[in-house]
Every structure is written in structure tokens, then in C-alpha cells.
């Protein structure tokens, strides 16, 4: 399992490097979904298809610029969406037992 975790993290960093994007984001591959970017000079939105519904997310800005990266026929958009995050820990590092 440890090797799989490290392989995933390495692949994610390589993918973000290909886009010229920082590697500290959750990656959600959606190459078959329709999408668009809209907004103005202050706020940009990503609208995309998911399970036959249109979803919206706010595009993150860095130094006043929307974080939209293009490379080799693909686009990476860094946006804030309601996301569930899976935290993976080493069991031996548990700081106390949870009684749930």
C-alpha cells in the first residue's frame, strides 16, 4: 500500500509539472466532460458536466490571475468546489483511539 501511495503522489506531481502548475491540488480527471470558464476580471467560474448535471466551481486566482493551464490539448483548471478528501495515515501514528 505504501508504494501505491507514493506512486500516486509522484504521478500527480509529474502531471502538474506538465501543465506548469503547482502540485498541491486534488486532481479530478474529466477528459470526457464539457466545460467552460466565465466571469470577469475579479471572479472566474468553471462550469462543467458531471453525471448529466451542470456543476459550478470558483476558479482560484494566484497573483491576480486565474489558475487555468493549457498543455498538449488538455486544460487544467484549479478551482474551489465542494470536495471530499480522503486522508491516508499510517496506523502506527494514531494519537488516540476513536470510539465511534
The pLDDT of 16-32, averaged and rounded, is 82
Instruction: Say what the pTM is.
Output: 0.70
Who has greater pLDDT, 40 or 94? 40
Rounded-to-integer distance, Cα 28 and Cα 12, Å: 11
The alpha carbon torsion through 18, 21, 24, 29 (nearest 10 deg) reads: -60
Confidence at 21, pLDDT banded by 50, 70, 90: confident
- The set of cell numbers assigned to 78 is 484549479
At 36 the pLDDT is 94
Can you spell out the DSSP letters for 5-54? Answer: HHHHHHHHHHHHHHHT--S-S-----TTS-EEEEE-SS-EEEEEEETTEE
Position with higher pLDDT, 1 vs 16 = 16
Report pLDDT for 94: 78
Amino acid at each position: 500500500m505504501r508504494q501505491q501511495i507514493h506512486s500516486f503522489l509522484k504521478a500527480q506531481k509529474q502531471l502538474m509539472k506538465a501543465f506548469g502548475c503547482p502540485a498541491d491540488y486534488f486532481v479530478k480527471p474529466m477528459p470526457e466532460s464539457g466545460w467552460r470558464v466565465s466571469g470577469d476580471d475579479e471572479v472566474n467560474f468553471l462550469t462543467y458536466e458531471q453525471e448529466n448535471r451542470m456543476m459550478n466551481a470558483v476558479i482560484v486566482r494566484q497573483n491576480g490571475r486565474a489558475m487555468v493551464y493549457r498543455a498538449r490539448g488538455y486544460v487544467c483548471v484549479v478551482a474551489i468546489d465542494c470536495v471530499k478528501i480522503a486522508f491516508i495515515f499510517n496506523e502506527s501514528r494514531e494519537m488516540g483511539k476513536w470510539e465511534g
